[in-house]
Chain A
Amino acid sequence: MEVALELRDLIEAIIRGEAEAAVIIADSLLQQNVPCESIIENGLTEALRSLDTKCTNEEFNLLEIMLAGRAMVSVLDEVITPRLPSNSPHSPDKTIVIGTIKGDIHDLGKQVVKTLFSARGFRVIDIGRDVEPLDFVRIAIIEGAHYIGVSSLLTLNIPFIREIKRILRNEGVNNIKVIAGGAAIQQTRPEDLDVDYVAKDAFDALHYIDRDLKE
Protein backbone atom coordinates (compact mmCIF):
# COMPACT_ATOMS: atom_id res chain seq x y z
CA MET A 1 0.00 0.00 0.00
CA GLU A 2 1.13 3.52 -0.67
CA VAL A 3 2.96 5.00 2.33
CA ALA A 4 0.74 8.11 2.52
CA LEU A 5 -2.39 5.93 2.64
CA GLU A 6 -0.88 3.70 5.28
CA LEU A 7 0.04 6.73 7.39
CA ARG A 8 -3.60 7.84 7.10
CA ASP A 9 -4.65 4.36 8.29
CA LEU A 10 -2.28 4.68 11.23
CA ILE A 11 -3.79 8.03 12.22
CA GLU A 12 -7.32 6.63 11.99
CA ALA A 13 -6.45 3.50 13.97
CA ILE A 14 -5.02 5.67 16.75
CA ILE A 15 -8.03 7.99 16.80
CA ARG A 16 -10.35 4.97 16.98
CA GLY A 17 -8.24 3.62 19.83
CA GLU A 18 -7.31 0.41 18.01
CA ALA A 19 -3.94 -0.33 19.58
CA GLU A 20 -3.24 -3.67 17.89
CA ALA A 21 -4.07 -2.35 14.42
CA ALA A 22 -1.96 0.78 15.02
CA VAL A 23 1.06 -1.33 15.99
CA ILE A 24 0.70 -3.57 12.90
CA ILE A 25 0.45 -0.56 10.56
CA ALA A 26 3.41 1.22 12.19
CA ASP A 27 5.46 -1.97 11.90
CA SER A 28 4.52 -2.31 8.23
CA LEU A 29 5.61 1.28 7.62
CA LEU A 30 8.99 0.51 9.17
CA GLN A 31 9.33 -2.55 6.92
CA GLN A 32 8.89 -0.20 3.96
CA ASN A 33 11.86 1.83 5.26
CA VAL A 34 9.76 4.75 6.45
CA PRO A 35 11.96 6.38 9.14
CA CYS A 36 10.77 6.45 12.76
CA GLU A 37 10.88 10.25 12.68
CA SER A 38 8.41 10.29 9.80
CA ILE A 39 6.06 7.92 11.60
CA ILE A 40 6.17 10.24 14.61
CA GLU A 41 5.73 13.45 12.60
CA ASN A 42 3.21 12.28 10.03
CA GLY A 43 1.47 9.59 12.05
CA LEU A 44 1.47 10.15 15.81
CA THR A 45 1.67 13.93 15.76
CA GLU A 46 -1.06 14.12 13.12
CA ALA A 47 -3.24 11.83 15.24
CA LEU A 48 -2.67 14.14 18.21
CA ARG A 49 -3.65 17.10 16.05
CA SER A 50 -6.90 15.41 15.00
CA LEU A 51 -7.72 14.57 18.60
CA ASP A 52 -6.98 18.14 19.55
CA THR A 53 -9.42 19.41 16.92
CA LYS A 54 -12.03 17.00 18.22
CA CYS A 55 -11.43 18.30 21.70
CA THR A 56 -11.71 21.93 20.56
CA ASN A 57 -15.06 21.10 18.96
CA GLU A 58 -16.19 19.89 22.39
CA GLU A 59 -16.61 16.31 21.27
CA PHE A 60 -13.93 15.37 23.77
CA ASN A 61 -14.49 12.62 26.27
CA LEU A 62 -12.04 10.93 28.53
CA LEU A 63 -12.69 7.40 27.25
CA GLU A 64 -11.86 8.17 23.61
CA ILE A 65 -8.75 10.08 24.58
CA MET A 66 -7.61 7.24 26.85
CA LEU A 67 -8.09 4.70 24.08
CA ALA A 68 -6.23 6.83 21.57
CA GLY A 69 -3.51 7.41 24.16
CA ARG A 70 -3.21 3.67 24.74
CA ALA A 71 -2.85 3.06 21.00
CA MET A 72 -0.23 5.79 20.73
CA VAL A 73 1.78 4.43 23.65
CA SER A 74 1.63 0.93 22.15
CA VAL A 75 3.12 2.24 18.88
CA LEU A 76 5.79 4.15 20.77
CA ASP A 77 6.71 1.28 23.11
CA GLU A 78 6.50 -1.61 20.67
CA VAL A 79 7.62 -0.07 17.39
CA ILE A 80 9.30 3.31 17.67
CA THR A 81 11.30 3.54 20.91
CA PRO A 82 13.33 0.31 20.41
CA ARG A 83 14.52 1.66 17.04
CA LEU A 84 14.99 5.30 17.90
CA PRO A 85 18.66 6.34 18.36
CA SER A 86 19.26 8.07 21.69
CA ASN A 87 20.56 11.24 19.98
CA SER A 88 17.50 11.49 17.76
CA PRO A 89 16.08 14.99 17.28
CA HIS A 90 12.95 13.53 18.89
CA SER A 91 14.69 13.00 22.17
CA PRO A 92 12.84 15.13 24.70
CA ASP A 93 14.28 18.54 25.41
CA LYS A 94 11.51 19.96 27.60
CA THR A 95 10.66 18.50 30.94
CA ILE A 96 7.45 18.66 32.90
CA VAL A 97 6.96 17.34 36.42
CA ILE A 98 3.38 16.20 36.98
CA GLY A 99 1.55 15.03 40.08
CA THR A 100 -1.72 15.09 41.98
CA ILE A 101 -1.65 17.56 44.85
CA LYS A 102 -1.57 16.65 48.54
CA GLY A 103 -4.94 15.44 49.79
CA ASP A 104 -6.06 14.02 46.45
CA ILE A 105 -5.46 10.58 45.02
CA HIS A 106 -7.33 10.86 41.71
CA ASP A 107 -4.93 10.34 38.85
CA LEU A 108 -6.88 9.44 35.74
CA GLY A 109 -6.56 12.91 34.24
CA LYS A 110 -2.88 12.96 35.12
CA GLN A 111 -2.38 9.68 33.26
CA VAL A 112 -3.93 11.21 30.13
CA VAL A 113 -1.64 14.23 30.42
CA LYS A 114 1.35 11.94 30.83
CA THR A 115 0.48 9.97 27.70
CA LEU A 116 -0.22 12.97 25.49
CA PHE A 117 2.80 14.95 26.64
CA SER A 118 5.09 11.93 26.18
CA ALA A 119 3.72 11.36 22.69
CA ARG A 120 4.32 15.03 21.97
CA GLY A 121 7.99 14.67 22.86
CA PHE A 122 8.19 15.93 26.42
CA ARG A 123 10.17 14.27 29.18
CA VAL A 124 7.42 13.65 31.69
CA ILE A 125 8.28 12.94 35.31
CA ASP A 126 5.26 11.60 37.13
CA ILE A 127 5.69 12.06 40.87
CA GLY A 128 2.44 10.34 41.78
CA ARG A 129 -0.55 11.18 43.92
CA ASP A 130 -1.07 12.99 47.21
CA VAL A 131 2.17 14.96 46.64
CA GLU A 132 3.41 17.69 49.02
CA PRO A 133 3.82 21.12 47.36
CA LEU A 134 7.48 21.17 48.43
CA ASP A 135 8.10 17.90 46.57
CA PHE A 136 6.77 19.37 43.31
CA VAL A 137 9.32 22.18 43.61
CA ARG A 138 12.19 20.04 44.88
CA ILE A 139 11.88 17.49 42.06
CA ALA A 140 11.29 20.15 39.40
CA ILE A 141 14.54 21.88 40.40
CA ILE A 142 16.53 18.62 40.57
CA GLU A 143 15.23 17.49 37.18
CA GLY A 144 15.71 20.87 35.50
CA ALA A 145 12.02 20.99 34.64
CA HIS A 146 10.49 23.82 32.64
CA TYR A 147 6.96 23.21 33.85
CA ILE A 148 5.10 21.80 36.83
CA GLY A 149 1.71 20.26 36.11
CA VAL A 150 -0.46 19.97 39.20
CA SER A 151 -3.72 18.07 39.15
CA SER A 152 -6.63 18.10 41.59
CA LEU A 153 -10.19 16.89 41.38
CA LEU A 154 -11.18 18.76 44.51
CA THR A 155 -11.39 22.43 45.44
CA LEU A 156 -10.54 21.53 49.02
CA ASN A 157 -6.85 21.18 48.11
CA ILE A 158 -6.50 24.61 46.58
CA PRO A 159 -4.43 25.96 49.52
CA PHE A 160 -1.81 23.28 48.76
CA ILE A 161 -1.74 24.22 45.06
CA ARG A 162 -1.18 27.85 46.05
CA GLU A 163 1.85 26.76 48.08
CA ILE A 164 3.81 25.67 44.97
CA LYS A 165 4.34 29.11 43.54
CA ARG A 166 5.07 30.55 46.98
CA ILE A 167 7.83 27.96 47.51
CA LEU A 168 9.23 28.65 44.03
CA ARG A 169 9.37 32.37 44.82
CA ASN A 170 11.02 31.69 48.18
CA GLU A 171 13.63 29.60 46.39
CA GLY A 172 14.23 32.41 43.91
CA VAL A 173 13.07 30.23 41.00
CA ASN A 174 11.18 32.15 38.35
CA ASN A 175 11.72 30.04 35.24
CA ILE A 176 9.38 27.15 36.09
CA LYS A 177 5.77 27.72 35.07
CA VAL A 178 2.97 26.09 37.03
CA ILE A 179 -0.07 24.70 35.19
CA ALA A 180 -3.10 23.39 37.08
CA GLY A 181 -5.81 21.09 35.81
CA GLY A 182 -8.56 18.80 37.04
CA ALA A 183 -12.33 18.60 37.27
CA ALA A 184 -13.41 20.93 40.05
CA ILE A 185 -10.61 23.47 39.75
CA GLN A 186 -11.65 24.34 36.21
CA GLN A 187 -14.09 26.67 37.92
CA THR A 188 -11.18 28.73 39.22
CA ARG A 189 -8.97 31.44 37.78
CA PRO A 190 -5.14 31.38 37.82
CA GLU A 191 -5.14 34.04 40.54
CA ASP A 192 -7.35 31.82 42.76
CA LEU A 193 -4.68 29.13 42.60
CA ASP A 194 -1.61 31.35 42.23
CA VAL A 195 -0.54 29.46 39.11
CA ASP A 196 0.46 30.55 35.61
CA TYR A 197 -2.39 28.77 33.87
CA VAL A 198 -5.52 26.74 34.58
CA ALA A 199 -5.91 24.22 31.75
CA LYS A 200 -9.33 23.04 30.61
CA ASP A 201 -7.84 19.73 29.48
CA ALA A 202 -4.57 18.13 28.38
CA PHE A 203 -4.66 19.76 24.93
CA ASP A 204 -5.35 23.16 26.43
CA ALA A 205 -2.21 22.67 28.54
CA LEU A 206 -0.23 21.79 25.40
CA HIS A 207 -1.52 24.93 23.66
CA TYR A 208 -0.47 27.04 26.62
CA ILE A 209 3.03 25.57 26.49
CA ASP A 210 3.23 26.11 22.73
CA ARG A 211 2.35 29.78 23.25
CA ASP A 212 4.76 30.05 26.15
CA LEU A 213 7.65 28.55 24.20
CA LYS A 214 7.09 31.00 21.34
CA GLU A 215 7.34 34.00 23.69
Chain B
Amino acid sequence: MTSYDRVMSIFTGDIPDLRPVVPQIFGVTARLNGYRVYQYVTDGKVLANSQIRTRKELGYDILYVFADLLVEAEAAGCKLHYNEDAYPHLLAPVLQDLDSLKELPLPLPEIDGRMPVLLEAARLLREHVGNECIIAACVVGPITLASHLIGIERFLYKLIDEPEKVKGLLDYTEKVVEVYGSELIRAGAHCLIVFDPVSSPDVIPSSYFLQLESERLKRLYKHFSLLGLPISWISIAGPTQRIIPYYKESGINLATIDYEVPISEALSLSNGIVINGNLKPYDFVSDNPADIEEKTEACIREAEGKGSFIIGTGCEIPLEARPDNIMALVRVSRGLQ
Protein backbone atom coordinates (compact mmCIF):
# COMPACT_ATOMS: atom_id res chain seq x y z
CA MET B 1 0.00 0.00 0.00
CA THR B 2 1.34 3.48 -0.79
CA SER B 3 1.32 6.38 1.66
CA TYR B 4 -1.44 7.92 -0.45
CA ASP B 5 -3.66 4.82 -0.14
CA ARG B 6 -2.82 4.47 3.54
CA VAL B 7 -4.08 7.98 4.36
CA MET B 8 -7.08 7.68 2.04
CA SER B 9 -8.08 4.40 3.70
CA ILE B 10 -9.01 6.36 6.84
CA PHE B 11 -11.58 8.25 4.76
CA THR B 12 -12.88 5.29 2.78
CA GLY B 13 -13.04 2.89 5.70
CA ASP B 14 -10.59 0.41 4.13
CA ILE B 15 -8.07 -1.37 6.33
CA PRO B 16 -4.59 0.18 5.91
CA ASP B 17 -1.51 -2.07 5.76
CA LEU B 18 0.17 0.18 8.34
CA ARG B 19 -1.08 2.93 10.60
CA PRO B 20 -0.71 6.23 8.69
CA VAL B 21 1.46 8.87 10.33
CA VAL B 22 0.89 12.55 9.50
CA PRO B 23 2.94 15.00 11.57
CA GLN B 24 3.19 18.70 10.69
CA ILE B 25 6.76 18.86 9.49
CA PHE B 26 7.82 21.96 7.56
CA GLY B 27 10.92 24.13 8.04
CA VAL B 28 12.69 21.52 10.18
CA THR B 29 13.13 19.51 6.95
CA ALA B 30 15.40 22.31 5.69
CA ARG B 31 17.62 22.18 8.75
CA LEU B 32 17.81 18.38 8.58
CA ASN B 33 19.14 18.70 5.03
CA GLY B 34 21.71 21.40 5.61
CA TYR B 35 19.68 24.33 4.31
CA ARG B 36 18.94 27.59 6.07
CA VAL B 37 15.27 28.35 6.67
CA TYR B 38 15.58 31.44 4.44
CA GLN B 39 16.47 29.16 1.51
CA TYR B 40 13.55 26.88 2.31
CA VAL B 41 10.95 29.66 2.30
CA THR B 42 12.24 31.41 -0.81
CA ASP B 43 13.29 28.57 -3.15
CA GLY B 44 10.80 25.99 -4.41
CA LYS B 45 13.55 23.51 -5.26
CA VAL B 46 14.99 23.64 -1.74
CA LEU B 47 11.52 23.25 -0.23
CA ALA B 48 10.67 20.26 -2.43
CA ASN B 49 14.08 18.60 -1.90
CA SER B 50 13.89 19.07 1.86
CA GLN B 51 10.40 17.57 2.01
CA ILE B 52 11.26 14.61 -0.21
CA ARG B 53 14.54 13.73 1.53
CA THR B 54 13.18 14.02 5.06
CA ARG B 55 10.15 11.88 4.31
CA LYS B 56 12.41 9.28 2.70
CA GLU B 57 14.67 9.30 5.76
CA LEU B 58 11.98 9.28 8.46
CA GLY B 59 9.18 7.42 6.71
CA TYR B 60 5.93 9.25 7.48
CA ASP B 61 3.00 9.54 5.05
CA ILE B 62 2.65 13.16 3.87
CA LEU B 63 4.45 15.87 1.89
CA TYR B 64 3.79 19.56 2.43
CA VAL B 65 3.89 22.66 0.32
CA PHE B 66 4.30 25.08 3.21
CA ALA B 67 6.74 27.93 3.66
CA ASP B 68 5.18 30.09 6.38
CA LEU B 69 1.87 31.74 7.22
CA LEU B 70 2.68 35.03 5.47
CA VAL B 71 2.85 34.00 1.79
CA GLU B 72 -0.61 35.34 0.95
CA ALA B 73 -0.12 38.52 3.01
CA GLU B 74 3.17 39.30 1.28
CA ALA B 75 1.66 38.70 -2.17
CA ALA B 76 -1.12 41.15 -1.27
CA GLY B 77 1.44 43.83 -0.40
CA CYS B 78 2.51 43.37 3.24
CA LYS B 79 6.20 43.92 3.98
CA LEU B 80 8.10 41.08 5.65
CA HIS B 81 11.42 40.86 7.42
CA TYR B 82 13.44 37.80 6.43
CA ASN B 83 15.65 35.98 8.89
CA GLU B 84 18.52 33.78 7.80
CA ASP B 85 17.53 30.71 9.77
CA ALA B 86 14.01 31.36 11.03
CA TYR B 87 10.64 32.12 9.48
CA PRO B 88 10.00 35.64 8.22
CA HIS B 89 7.81 37.94 10.23
CA LEU B 90 5.40 40.73 9.35
CA LEU B 91 7.09 44.11 9.22
CA ALA B 92 4.24 46.27 7.98
CA PRO B 93 0.64 45.41 7.13
CA VAL B 94 -0.59 46.62 3.76
CA LEU B 95 -3.74 48.27 5.15
CA GLN B 96 -3.81 51.12 7.65
CA ASP B 97 -7.61 51.31 7.58
CA LEU B 98 -10.45 49.40 6.00
CA ASP B 99 -11.30 52.18 3.53
CA SER B 100 -8.04 51.51 1.63
CA LEU B 101 -9.25 47.98 0.84
CA LYS B 102 -10.89 49.11 -2.40
CA GLU B 103 -7.44 50.02 -3.78
CA LEU B 104 -5.99 46.59 -3.01
CA PRO B 105 -5.79 44.32 -6.08
CA LEU B 106 -6.05 40.54 -5.83
CA PRO B 107 -2.60 38.95 -5.92
CA LEU B 108 -1.66 37.01 -9.06
CA PRO B 109 -0.33 33.60 -7.93
CA GLU B 110 2.09 33.18 -10.86
CA ILE B 111 3.66 36.60 -10.24
CA ASP B 112 3.22 38.08 -6.79
CA GLY B 113 5.48 37.62 -3.76
CA ARG B 114 6.54 34.03 -3.09
CA MET B 115 3.40 32.43 -4.46
CA PRO B 116 5.39 31.35 -7.58
CA VAL B 117 7.95 29.69 -5.26
CA LEU B 118 5.24 27.59 -3.63
CA LEU B 119 3.66 26.75 -6.98
CA GLU B 120 7.06 25.53 -8.20
CA ALA B 121 7.42 23.40 -5.06
CA ALA B 122 4.00 21.84 -5.70
CA ARG B 123 4.96 21.04 -9.32
CA LEU B 124 8.29 19.50 -8.30
CA LEU B 125 6.77 17.39 -5.55
CA ARG B 126 4.06 16.08 -7.85
CA GLU B 127 6.59 15.30 -10.58
CA HIS B 128 8.63 13.37 -8.03
CA VAL B 129 5.98 11.35 -6.18
CA GLY B 130 2.99 11.36 -8.50
CA ASN B 131 0.22 9.67 -6.55
CA GLU B 132 2.45 7.69 -4.21
CA CYS B 133 2.03 10.21 -1.37
CA ILE B 134 -0.52 12.93 -0.70
CA ILE B 135 0.88 16.41 -1.25
CA ALA B 136 -0.90 18.86 1.04
CA ALA B 137 -0.48 22.55 0.27
CA CYS B 138 -1.17 25.12 2.94
CA VAL B 139 -3.22 28.30 2.82
CA VAL B 140 -4.34 30.56 5.65
CA GLY B 141 -7.99 31.04 6.56
CA PRO B 142 -9.81 34.27 5.60
CA ILE B 143 -9.84 35.55 9.20
CA THR B 144 -6.13 34.90 9.69
CA LEU B 145 -5.22 36.54 6.37
CA ALA B 146 -7.38 39.55 7.24
CA SER B 147 -5.49 39.92 10.53
CA HIS B 148 -2.19 39.93 8.61
CA LEU B 149 -3.34 42.52 6.07
CA ILE B 150 -4.30 45.13 8.66
CA GLY B 151 -2.31 43.93 11.69
CA ILE B 152 -3.82 41.64 14.30
CA GLU B 153 -4.43 44.19 17.05
CA ARG B 154 -6.17 46.58 14.68
CA PHE B 155 -8.12 43.71 13.12
CA LEU B 156 -9.49 42.54 16.46
CA TYR B 157 -10.63 46.03 17.41
CA LYS B 158 -12.18 46.52 13.94
CA LEU B 159 -14.20 43.32 14.43
CA ILE B 160 -16.10 45.23 17.10
CA ASP B 161 -15.79 48.82 15.91
CA GLU B 162 -16.45 48.36 12.18
CA PRO B 163 -18.07 44.94 11.71
CA GLU B 164 -19.59 45.66 8.29
CA LYS B 165 -16.28 46.81 6.84
CA VAL B 166 -14.58 43.73 8.31
CA LYS B 167 -17.00 41.59 6.30
CA GLY B 168 -15.77 43.39 3.18
CA LEU B 169 -12.19 42.57 4.14
CA LEU B 170 -13.14 38.92 4.69
CA ASP B 171 -14.78 38.81 1.25
CA TYR B 172 -11.44 39.95 -0.18
CA THR B 173 -9.34 37.47 1.82
CA GLU B 174 -11.70 34.61 0.94
CA LYS B 175 -11.13 35.42 -2.73
CA VAL B 176 -7.34 35.49 -2.24
CA VAL B 177 -7.44 32.06 -0.59
CA GLU B 178 -9.66 30.71 -3.36
CA VAL B 179 -7.45 31.99 -6.18
CA TYR B 180 -4.16 30.94 -4.60
CA GLY B 181 -5.45 27.58 -3.34
CA SER B 182 -6.84 26.72 -6.77
CA GLU B 183 -3.46 27.40 -8.37
CA LEU B 184 -1.69 25.23 -5.79
CA ILE B 185 -3.96 22.32 -6.71
CA ARG B 186 -3.52 22.94 -10.43
CA ALA B 187 0.25 22.95 -9.85
CA GLY B 188 0.21 19.52 -8.22
CA ALA B 189 -1.09 19.59 -4.66
CA HIS B 190 -3.68 16.90 -3.94
CA CYS B 191 -5.46 18.88 -1.24
CA LEU B 192 -5.18 21.97 0.92
CA ILE B 193 -4.82 22.53 4.65
CA VAL B 194 -6.34 25.73 5.92
CA PHE B 195 -4.29 27.12 8.79
CA ASP B 196 -6.42 29.49 10.80
CA PRO B 197 -4.70 30.41 14.08
CA VAL B 198 -6.65 33.66 14.54
CA SER B 199 -9.95 31.71 14.44
CA SER B 200 -8.86 29.82 17.55
CA PRO B 201 -11.19 30.23 20.56
CA ASP B 202 -8.03 31.43 22.32
CA VAL B 203 -8.16 34.55 20.17
CA ILE B 204 -11.81 35.22 19.23
CA PRO B 205 -15.06 33.98 20.74
CA SER B 206 -16.19 30.72 19.11
CA SER B 207 -19.38 32.46 17.93
CA TYR B 208 -17.21 34.57 15.61
CA PHE B 209 -15.87 31.42 13.95
CA LEU B 210 -19.46 30.38 13.28
CA GLN B 211 -20.65 33.81 12.13
CA LEU B 212 -17.69 34.93 10.07
CA GLU B 213 -15.56 31.94 9.02
CA SER B 214 -17.65 28.79 8.83
CA GLU B 215 -19.62 29.66 5.65
CA ARG B 216 -16.51 30.98 3.93
CA LEU B 217 -14.62 27.78 4.68
CA LYS B 218 -17.55 25.75 3.39
CA ARG B 219 -17.47 27.60 0.06
CA LEU B 220 -13.69 27.27 -0.19
CA TYR B 221 -13.63 23.54 0.57
CA LYS B 222 -16.42 22.89 -1.92
CA HIS B 223 -14.43 24.72 -4.57
CA PHE B 224 -11.15 22.95 -3.77
CA SER B 225 -12.76 19.50 -3.61
CA LEU B 226 -13.90 19.90 -7.19
CA LEU B 227 -10.30 20.53 -8.26
CA GLY B 228 -8.43 17.98 -6.12
CA LEU B 229 -8.96 15.27 -3.55
CA PRO B 230 -12.06 15.45 -1.35
CA ILE B 231 -9.96 16.12 1.74
CA SER B 232 -11.02 19.35 3.46
CA TRP B 233 -8.45 19.88 6.15
CA ILE B 234 -8.32 22.51 8.90
CA SER B 235 -5.63 23.18 11.48
CA ILE B 236 -6.56 25.37 14.43
CA ALA B 237 -4.66 25.15 17.71
CA GLY B 238 -5.94 25.94 21.18
CA PRO B 239 -9.02 24.88 23.11
CA THR B 240 -11.17 24.13 20.05
CA GLN B 241 -13.78 22.02 21.88
CA ARG B 242 -16.47 24.63 21.23
CA ILE B 243 -15.91 24.78 17.46
CA ILE B 244 -15.07 21.14 16.62
CA PRO B 245 -18.79 20.15 16.59
CA TYR B 246 -19.33 22.72 13.79
CA TYR B 247 -16.44 21.58 11.61
CA LYS B 248 -18.54 19.06 9.69
CA GLU B 249 -21.15 21.64 8.71
CA SER B 250 -18.29 23.93 7.64
CA GLY B 251 -17.37 21.30 5.03
CA ILE B 252 -14.36 20.01 6.97
CA ASN B 253 -13.57 16.27 6.99
CA LEU B 254 -10.08 16.32 8.53
CA ALA B 255 -9.09 18.44 11.53
CA THR B 256 -5.72 18.75 13.20
CA ILE B 257 -6.12 19.47 16.89
CA ASP B 258 -3.42 20.21 19.43
CA TYR B 259 -2.61 19.01 22.92
CA GLU B 260 -5.09 21.35 24.58
CA VAL B 261 -7.95 19.07 23.48
CA PRO B 262 -7.74 15.45 24.67
CA ILE B 263 -7.89 13.19 21.63
CA SER B 264 -10.82 11.19 23.00
CA GLU B 265 -12.79 14.40 23.58
CA ALA B 266 -12.03 15.64 20.05
CA LEU B 267 -13.25 12.35 18.61
CA SER B 268 -16.41 12.45 20.69
CA LEU B 269 -17.16 15.97 19.37
CA SER B 270 -16.14 15.30 15.77
CA ASN B 271 -19.45 14.15 14.22
CA GLY B 272 -17.54 11.49 12.33
CA ILE B 273 -14.85 13.62 10.68
CA VAL B 274 -11.23 12.45 10.83
CA ILE B 275 -9.14 13.84 13.69
CA ASN B 276 -5.36 14.29 13.36
CA GLY B 277 -3.09 15.05 16.31
CA ASN B 278 -2.30 15.71 19.02
CA LEU B 279 1.26 15.13 20.20
CA LYS B 280 2.88 18.20 21.71
CA PRO B 281 5.33 19.70 19.19
CA TYR B 282 7.85 20.94 21.74
CA ASP B 283 8.28 17.39 23.04
CA PHE B 284 10.16 16.70 19.80
CA VAL B 285 12.77 19.17 21.02
CA SER B 286 12.89 18.49 24.75
CA ASP B 287 12.13 14.77 25.02
CA ASN B 288 14.08 11.70 24.01
CA PRO B 289 12.87 8.90 21.72
CA ALA B 290 11.71 6.72 24.62
CA ASP B 291 9.43 9.53 25.85
CA ILE B 292 8.03 10.10 22.37
CA GLU B 293 7.35 6.38 21.96
CA GLU B 294 5.46 6.34 25.25
CA LYS B 295 3.41 9.46 24.41
CA THR B 296 2.63 8.21 20.90
CA GLU B 297 1.48 4.88 22.25
CA ALA B 298 -0.72 6.60 24.84
CA CYS B 299 -2.27 8.85 22.20
CA ILE B 300 -3.06 5.92 19.89
CA ARG B 301 -4.56 3.92 22.73
CA GLU B 302 -6.70 6.88 23.81
CA ALA B 303 -8.10 7.20 20.28
CA GLU B 304 -8.65 3.48 19.76
CA GLY B 305 -12.22 2.59 18.83
CA LYS B 306 -13.47 6.14 19.31
CA GLY B 307 -13.53 7.33 15.69
CA SER B 308 -11.49 8.05 12.60
CA PHE B 309 -8.01 9.08 13.65
CA ILE B 310 -4.59 9.77 12.16
CA ILE B 311 -1.69 10.12 14.57
CA GLY B 312 0.41 13.28 14.21
CA THR B 313 1.38 16.49 15.95
CA GLY B 314 -1.12 19.16 16.91
CA CYS B 315 0.94 21.91 15.38
CA GLU B 316 4.25 22.34 13.56
CA ILE B 317 7.23 20.32 14.77
CA PRO B 318 9.70 23.06 15.81
CA LEU B 319 12.72 23.88 13.67
CA GLU B 320 15.04 22.68 16.40
CA ALA B 321 13.41 19.23 16.80
CA ARG B 322 15.50 16.05 17.06
CA PRO B 323 15.09 13.73 14.05
CA ASP B 324 15.37 10.63 16.25
CA ASN B 325 12.23 11.81 18.03
CA ILE B 326 10.33 12.01 14.73
CA MET B 327 11.63 8.53 13.89
CA ALA B 328 10.32 7.31 17.24
CA LEU B 329 6.85 8.62 16.39
CA VAL B 330 6.85 6.73 13.10
CA ARG B 331 8.37 3.58 14.58
CA VAL B 332 5.91 3.17 17.41
CA SER B 333 2.92 4.08 15.23
CA ARG B 334 3.79 1.42 12.72
CA GLY B 335 4.49 -1.11 15.46
CA LEU B 336 1.13 -0.62 17.05
CA GLN B 337 -0.75 -1.62 13.91
Contact = CB atoms under 8 A, between A and B. Distances in A.
Contacts of A187: 259, 280-283
B226 interface: no
B205 interface: yes
Given A103-B83, A156-B86, A62 B204 contact: yes
Contact of A61 (B157, B201, B318, B319): B201
B205 A188 contact: no
A24 interface: no
A30 interface: no
Given A111-B153, A184-B282, A61 B86 contact: no
Given A66-B157, A184-B282, A155 B320 contact: yes
Given A62-B203, A105-B89, A108-B153, A156 B318 contact: yes
Q: Give the most central of A61, A67, A184, A188: most B CB within 10 Å.
A: A61
Q: Give the most central of A60, A64, A187: most B CB within 10 Å.
A: A187
Nearest to A62: B203
A109 to B, nearest CB: 10
Given A17-B160, A155-B320, A156-B320, A61 B203 contact: yes
B269 interface: no
A183 B282 CA distance: 12
A38 to B, nearest CB: 29
Give the bracket for the number of chain A residues in contact with chain B.
20 to 34
B160 A67 contact: yes
A17 B159 CA distance: 12
Interface residues of B, number: 30
Contact of B153 (A61, A64, A66, A156): A66
Contacts of A62: 156, 202-204
Nearest to B285: A155
Interface in A57-99: 58, 60-64, 66-67, 70
A192 interface: yes
B158 to A, nearest CB: 11
Contact of B319 (A67, A156, A185): A156
Nearest to A185: B282
B156 A63 contact: yes
A186 B203 CA distance: 15
B152 interface: yes
Interface in B203-218: 203-205, 208
A154 B320 CA distance: 11
Given A67-B160, A155-B318, A108 B202 contact: no
B202 A61 contact: yes
Interface string A165-186: 0000000000000000001110
A152 to B, nearest CB: 12
B288 interface: no
Given A154-B86, A192-B286, 6 more contacts: A63-B156, A66-B153, A66-B157, A67-B157, A70-B157, A155-B285
Interface of A: 17, 58, 60-64, 66-67, 70, 103-106, 108, 111, 154-156, 183-185, 187-188, 192
